[in-house]
Amino acid sequence: DQQVKQNSPSLSVQEGRISILNCDYTNSMFDYFLWYKKYPAEGPTFLISISSIKDKNEDGRFTVFLNKSAKHLSLHIVPSQPGDSAVYFCAASVLTGGGNKLTFGTGTQLKVEL
């Protein structure tokens, strides 16, 4: 049961344009949503998060939007830069009795072209 889904395995964008990465989830108990950037053979690097009680969070070139009724979130990167090329994972967390459990989506490979 894939609770967090990223339906686009890849995305190609021109430098300077906006990149929009999408994510859908099914579990209404998730309390935080996060985006991580990952290069091969490295650990995920945290980019930005949003609490489930918010609908928008912005940090520099990165903005995350949350639509709870649609169980959908998106990451906007503007302007896109070649250094943004990486795999982007959407993740969702839920605080359980056993700890803070993070579930990842399947990832979207972003390529920013010159």
Site of interaction with other proteins (CB under 8 A): 31-32, 34, 36, 41-46, 49, 51, 89, 91, 93-107
- Token pair of 48, please? 């930005």
Residue 81 CB, nearest approach to other proteins (Å): 22
Type of residue found at 36: Y
Q: Which residues pair with 5 in a beta bridge?
A: 24
| Separation between Cα atoms, residue 26 and residue 84, nearest integer Å | 28
Q: Of 11 and 79, which CB lies nearer to other proteins in the complex structure?
A: 11
Give the nearest distance from C-beta 23 to other proteins in angstroms.
Answer: 12
Q: Min. distance of Cβ 17 from other proteins in angstroms?
A: 26
Question: In angstroms, what is the minimal distance from the CB of 7 to other proteins?
Answer: 14
Distance CA 63, CA 48 (A): 8
* Other residues' Cβ atoms within 10 Å of the Cβ of residue 28: 9
Short-list 112, 111, 105, CA closest to 36: 105
Decide whether 7 or 14 has the Cβ nearer to other proteins: 7
Q: For other proteins, which is the closer residue by CB, 8 or 93?
A: 93
Which residue, 32 or 79, is less far from other proteins as judged by CB?
Answer: 32
